[in-house]
């Protein structure tokens, strides 16, 4: 890639990596091959088989949920989780009307869109709830505010960004106080734990309906795949039925409900089965990467994605940086492009990402908040101060807090691959350091 001359001058003498350093790539161990081969040898390559059964059993046991349902991806798990919650709240919908038609649901704002799209799949409006600075997750104070503005809402969808648990004790209590169901998106946080009262609980077992993902970039992978987790056997059985086109017990194809082709393949489950024993090892590697970055960045005008060790143990899926306001060089983003300038001692996420890319390292901007996404621009957005839409005034200087927009503006995700060597990580650190050097 072509760097602007000032940034290129800052990096003078640094050699690009010969092999690309990824944000987070799959790490295979060998056992995966055994279970995939077993599926092929025994001809159980479709959506039934021992690998699926084992993954469901082992994952439910690990996370601490009573039941797990193997699905094609985390998005499918979130869709079924959302529909199960919506049916429990509002009853069955006609096939052409989603179960959330005409309803609202409160959703995390700084997350991947797969967390919140199921609300729209089911015909509902996602109301985005602003983010808190100390966990980068849904702000419980903003959630309280959202219930004050929209007291009829009965569904909350919360994600654990980059593997750091949201404040589930508070969020669960707020949901209970408002008689609301909780869908937990633990796609990024498998293996992370948080404290609920005196107990430590794994993410993926705290909501009424929970989802994890085995996408290729996650802490462990099946190449694809996901799980729905719940304590309700009846709901797990319904999700399993919906995931295989909702076939009834009849000799022919008989359908009384809308179904999907969402079931996990036994081959994919073989990869997951081989990965599950390595979850803790991957989390330990990710933690070491996070801590090494944190120590190396001491003295630079940046901080890392934060967490409270008294309240949670992240899985450290991605290590991120937030640039101090005073050290932000001017940067603007359009819908697809960006511009920045260089100033001595200052940098910006896009400059650092360009610099990393020139050294063959993959970073990424912090996930763009949902309330800023064109597809959701008409949806409501609530901060701890109230509605987050239309907060400025042509005549009076105004504008409230928008934490998500600020994290997007000043933050970036660093290469966090668990196979990263110290030498590779040192190059990333040096690159960031140089970006804050003399222009």
Ligand X SMILES: Cc1ncc(COP(=O)(O)O)c(C=O)c1O
Residue ranges that bind ligand X, judged by CB under 6 A: 73-75, 78, 111-112, 114-115, 159, 185, 187-188, 213, 215, 226
Rounded to a whole number of angstroms, the minimum distance from the CB of residue 136 to ligand X is 12
Nearer Cβ to ligand X, position 82 or 425?
Answer: 82
The alpha carbon dihedral of 380, 308, 280, 199 has a sign of negative
- Least distance from ligand X to the Cβ atom of residue 77, Å: 8
Nearer to ligand X, 112 or 381 (CB): 112
Burial class, 101, CB count within 10 angstroms (exposed 0-12 / middle 13-18 / buried 19+): middle
Question: Shortest approach of ligand X to residue 404 CB, angstroms?
Answer: 14
Least distance (Å) between residue 264 CB and ligand X: 11
Q: Which two tokens stand for residue 93?
A: 């919908």
Q: Given the complex with ligand X, which of 78 and 171 has the nearer CB atom?
A: 78
Residue 48: how many other CB atoms lie within 10 Å: 14
In the bound state with ligand X, the residue whose beta carbon lies nearer, of 82 and 213, is 213
**Are the CB atoms for 323 and 302 separated by under 8 Å?**
yes
* Angle value at C-alpha 389, between 385 and 394, nearest 5 degrees: 100
Closest approach of Cβ 188 to ligand X, in Å? 5
Which residue lies nearer to ligand X by CB, 189 or 266?
189
Question: Which residue, 110 or 427, is less far from ligand X as judged by CB?
Answer: 110
Shorter beta-carbon distance to ligand X: residue 74 or 369: 74
Closest of 80, 104, 89, 117 to residue 210, by C-alpha:
80
Residue 161 main-chain phi, psi, to 5 deg: -65, 130
Q: Which is nearer to ligand X, 121 or 150 (CB)?
A: 121
Select the residue whose beta carbon is closest to ligand X and give its number: 74
What number of CA atoms fall less than 13 Å from residue 252's CA on the CB side?
Answer: 1
How far from chain centre, in Å, is Cα 7? 31
295 three-class SS: helix
CB of 160 to ligand X, least distance (A): 8
CB of 73 to ligand X, least distance (A): 3
Q: How far is the CB of 183 from ligand X (least distance, A)?
A: 11
Q: 253: exposed, middle or buried (C-beta count within 10 Å: 0-12, 13-18, 19+)?
A: exposed
Strand 331-333 vs strand 193-196: parallel, antiparallel, or unpaired?
A: unpaired
Q: How far is the CB of 47 from ligand X (least distance, A)?
A: 16
Q: Which is nearer to ligand X, 115 or 424 (CB)?
A: 115
Cα separation values, 325 from 87, 302, 322, 329, 347, Å: 45, 9, 9, 9, 10
**Number of continuous H segments (helices) and E segments (strands) in the chain:** 13, 18
How many Cα atoms are found within 13 Å in the side-chain-facing hemisphere of 5? 0
Locus of tokens 């991806």: 73
């Amino acid at each position: 890639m072509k760097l602007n001359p000032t940034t290129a001058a800052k990096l003078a003498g640094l050699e690009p990596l010969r092999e690309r350093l990824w944000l987070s790539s799959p790490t295979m161990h060998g056992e995966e091959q055994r279970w995939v081969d077993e599926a092929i040898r025994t001809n159980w390559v479709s959506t039934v088989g021992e690998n699926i059964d084992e993954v469901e059993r082992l994952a439910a046991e690990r996370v601490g949920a009573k039941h797990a349902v193997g699905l094609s991806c985390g998005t499918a798990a979130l869709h079924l989780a959302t529909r199960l919650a919506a049916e429990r709240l509002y009853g069955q919908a006609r096939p052409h009307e989603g179960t959330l038609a005409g309803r609202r649901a409160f959703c995390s704002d700084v997350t991947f869109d797969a967390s919140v799209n199921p609300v729209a799949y089911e015909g509902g409006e996602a109301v985005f709830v602003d983010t808190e600075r100390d966990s980068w997750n849904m702000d419980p104070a903003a959630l309280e505010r959202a219930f004050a503005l929209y007291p009829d809402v009965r569904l909350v969808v919360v994600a654990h960004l980059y593997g750091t648990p949201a404040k589930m004790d508070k969020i669960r209590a707020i949901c209970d106080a408002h008689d609301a169901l909780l869908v937990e998106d633990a796609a990024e946080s498998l293996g992370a734990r948080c404290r609920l009262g005196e107990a430590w609980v794994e993410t993926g077992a705290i909501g009424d309906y929970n989802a994890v993902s085995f996408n290729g970039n996650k802490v462990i992978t099946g190449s694809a795949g996901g799980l729905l987790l719940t304590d309700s056997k009846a709901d797990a059985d319904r999700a399993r039925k919906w995931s295989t086109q909702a076939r009834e017990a009849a000799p022919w194809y008989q359908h009384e409900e809308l179904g999907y082709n969402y079931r996990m393949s036994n081959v994919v489950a073989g990869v997951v089965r081989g990965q599950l024993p390595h979850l803790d090892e991957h989390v330990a590697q990710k933690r070491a990467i996070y801590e090494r970055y944190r120590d190396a960045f001491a003295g630079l005008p940046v901080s890392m994605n934060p967490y409270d060790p008294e309240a949670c143990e992240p899985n450290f899926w991605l290590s991120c940086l937030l640039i101090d306001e005073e050290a932000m060089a001017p940067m603007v983003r359009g819908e697809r492009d960006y511009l920045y300038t260089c100033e001595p001692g200052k940098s910006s996420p896009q400059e650092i990402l360009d610099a990393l890319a020139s050294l063959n390292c993959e970073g990424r901007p912090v996930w763009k908040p949902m309330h800023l996404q064109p597809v959701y621009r008409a949806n409501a957005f609530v901060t701890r101060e109230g509605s987050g839409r239309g907060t400025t005034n042509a005549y009076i200087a105004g504008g409230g807090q928008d934490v998500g927009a600020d994290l997007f503006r000043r933050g970036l995700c660093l290469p966090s691959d668990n196979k990263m060597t110290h030498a590779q990580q040192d190059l990333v650190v040096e690159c960031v350091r140089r970006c804050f050097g003399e222009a």
